[in-house]
Amino acid sequence: MNQENAVLDRYTEGANQRQESLCCPVDYQTELLKILPQEIIEKDYGCGDPSRYVREGDVVLDLGSGSGKICYMAAQLVGDKGKVIGVDMNNDMLALARKYQPEMTNKLGSDRVQFKKGKIQDLALDIDAMEQRLASNPITDANALAAFDAWKHQQCTQEPLIADDSIDLVVSNCVLNLVNDVEKQQLVDEIFRVVKPGGRIAISDIVSDESIPEHLKENKELWSGCISGAFQELEMLKMFHDAGFIAVTYDKWSDTPWQIVEGIEFRSVTLTAIKREQTECIDKGHAAIYRGPFSFAIDDEGYEFPRGQRMAICERTFNVLNNEPYKDSFICIAPAIEQDAKEWCSPAGTLRPAKETKGSLHSVNTSSSACC
């Protein structure tokens, strides 16, 4: 079975006629649906709501944008300073999403949504540009093929569909499972490439509780129906962590499986993570205290935080721990006196003596601001 062709056929049908079997009930923020055309709401093949993670001013990329629903929801949240890009490989889905662009531009008050043709496992290749090139320069012999390869390389490096480090938030709704297993690593690496340092991802997808046997992966209906291509639940976390993301979290986890096939539970989850800032790790005298409730915590960079201990951290880690999703778990303490930056970071496990931070600012959050 050619999995990509199965996916193309299934979503061509889905763009033209609502497919009940592809619809997984999702609790969207209803106020964002109010201005959406009915056809977009009906042809919803998502399994979660990554639009909840969008912030004002964000540049958002939606992988496998389908009818454009998440893009048009996100567009309301980014405001007129933000931007939303949807990428999909299916002509009919792109046509459906683009059909409503003038109407949505009018309702939103600006043209802040774009739909691009591409494969999400190769976000450098602009397929519209490639098809134009092929139409004007058909490949008829080996020389033409070599010229095409050179053009493609230049296009991907000089004018990538999505540039390196250009996106504040990558979202996706029930699409990553549709990418061939052999291309899933490349897919995760591509997501990492395009996110800005400090940027975020929110991926709603289907995971399985056990490994999926080959005969289920060979089943066209199950593959294109967002079931047998699912990540195994641990494998998904691990792939994003190994690609370089930190704070990798299952922020949403559906207790009830969406489908059970041969005893394997398939459920909807939303994975969130951050791309670490690329700044150097330099000790300027910051500290963090892990509040608990566990006896210690280890972050994705391997630093250990025993509960209640005032640990030495670099400024970069301070900025990470002082923000979502960590900030409620840590008391982050700025240096009392701005120290000369040391050329190194204190080794993991270094304590910060209280006298070095006495009198300095502690991060204020809901649990630490109460005064007794």
Residues that bind ligand SAM (CB under 6 A): 7, 11, 44-46, 64-67, 69-70, 87-90, 93, 119-121, 173-175, 178-179, 226
Query: Cβ of residue 158: shortest distance to ligand SAM, in angstroms?
Result: 22
Query: Cβ of residue 345: shortest distance to ligand SAM, in angstroms?
Result: 39
Which residue sits closest to ligand SAM, CB atoms considered?
Answer: 66
Cα separations (Å) of 199 from 50, 171, 309, 325? Answer: 15, 11, 29, 13
Task: Using alpha carbons, select from 256, 255, 258 the residue that is nearest to residue 226.
Answer: 258
DSSP string, 336-366: SSPPPPPSSPPPTT-B--HHHHTT-PBP--T
Cα separations (Å) of 98 from 71, 87, 94, 244, 317? Answer: 11, 12, 6, 34, 42
Q: In terms of CB distance, is 83 or 119 closer to ligand SAM?
A: 119
319 pairs with which residues across the strands?
none
Q: In terms of CB distance, is 247 or 269 closer to ligand SAM?
A: 269
Query: Cβ of residue 2: shortest distance to ligand SAM, in angstroms?
Result: 13
Cβ–Cβ under 8 Å, residues 176 and 201:
no
Q: In terms of CB distance, is 88 or 251 closer to ligand SAM?
A: 88
Cβ–Cβ under 8 Å, residues 172 and 195:
no
Query: Cβ of residue 352: shortest distance to ligand SAM, in angstroms?
Result: 45
Q: Strand 264-275 vs strand 304-306: parallel, antiparallel, or unpaired?
A: unpaired
Query: Cβ of residue 349: shortest distance to ligand SAM, in angstroms?
Result: 43
Q: In terms of CB distance, is 66 or 285 closer to ligand SAM?
A: 66
Q: In terms of CB distance, is 172 or 329 closer to ligand SAM?
A: 172
Q: In terms of CB distance, is 76 or 322 closer to ligand SAM?
A: 76
- Tokens representing 255? 């207790």
Mapped onto helix, strand or coil, the DSSP state of residue 261 is strand
**Which H or E run contains 289?**
strand 286-290
Query: Cβ of residue 153: shortest distance to ligand SAM, in angstroms?
Result: 20
Q: In terms of CB distance, is 127 or 247 closer to ligand SAM?
A: 127
Dihedral pair phi/psi, residue 347, rounded to 5°: -60, 150
Query: Cβ of residue 355: shortest distance to ligand SAM, in angstroms?
Result: 54
Cβ–Cβ under 8 Å, residues 24 and 46:
yes
